[in-house]
Amino acid sequence: MKILAVGKNYANHIAEMKTEFDKFSGEPVVFLKPDTALLKDNAPFYYPEFSQDVHHEVEILIKICKEGKNIQEKFAHKYYEEIGIGIDFTARDIQAKLKANSYSWEIAKGFNGSAPVSYFVPKTDFLDLQNINFSLKINDEIRQEGNTSLMIFKIDYIIAYLSRYFTLKQGDIIFTGTPAGVGAVKVGDKLSAFIEDKEMLTFLVK
Ligand code: MG
């Protein structure tokens, strides 16, 4: 399986990063994480020794249910049946150096354990996938809150766009971008991610 991720998909996060949206012709920023980034079943996240500034980014996840490429946006909904929530851990200090040199972000985004994911629930549990509240608490304090209505690129567009370049396969997971409120985590923190009021993911930083 592979993990695909979209960056800069919520205007309030773009603003907090003091970055710009449309440098690249208004298309999504895309990066990948290897399968070794995946953390499942509330497994702990081990803080990497190469960074002093690992940030949380809570994001809604889409799980691909069948293979497809060059998917038309109007048919994209046929390629996913479940959604979840995850953390796009980012070594912000390393990413800043990479950005300064216009290098790709992979080591800042794709390192071991950088993609904790929840269990997945049927999309039919929700009336409108583009109007879902989600949030992250750290040590039981709210740190990030978002609503999928605020995505710049909507889920079906993201699937169509990614499938132009990458054949999507059953089991692939797409991270759809983070809202404002990103910040550093530290050893000992407990992270808990929610879709609406349901706690879907909770784990410790060790
Ligand atoms: Mg992200």
Output the CA 96–ligand 1 centroid distance in Å.
14
CB 4 within 8 Å of CB 162 = yes
Output the CA 105–ligand 1 centroid distance in Å.
11
pLDDT of residue 23: 56
pLDDT of residue 20: 62
From first to last of the 206 residues of the chain, give the pLDDT tens digit. 999 999 989 988 877 877 665 555 578 999 999 999 999 999 999 999 999 999 999 999 999 999 999 999 999 999 999 999 999 999 999 999 999 998 999 999 999 999 999 999 999 999 999 999 999 999 999 999 999 999 999 999 999 999 999 999 999 999 999 999 999 999 999 999 999 999 999 999 99
Output the CA 129–ligand 1 centroid distance in Å.
19
Output the CA 124–ligand 1 centroid distance in Å.
25
Domain membership of residue 47 as a residue range: 3-204
Give the 3-state secondary structure of the chain: CCEEEEECCEHHHHHHCCCCCCCCCCCCEEEEECHHHEECCCCCECCCCCCCCEEECEEEEEEECCCECCCCHHHHHHHEEEEEEEECCEEHHHHHHHHHCCCCCHHHHCCCCCEEECCCEEHHHCCCCCCCEEEEEECCEEEEEEEHHHECCCHHHHHHHHHHHCCECCCCEEECCCCCCCEECCCCCEEEEEECCEEEEEEEEC
pLDDT of residue 22: 56
pLDDT of residue 89: 98
Number of domains in the chain: 1
pTM: 0.95
CATH number of the CATH domain containing 39: 3.90.850.10
Output the CA 175–ligand 1 centroid distance in Å.
7
Output the CA 63–ligand 1 centroid distance in Å.
16
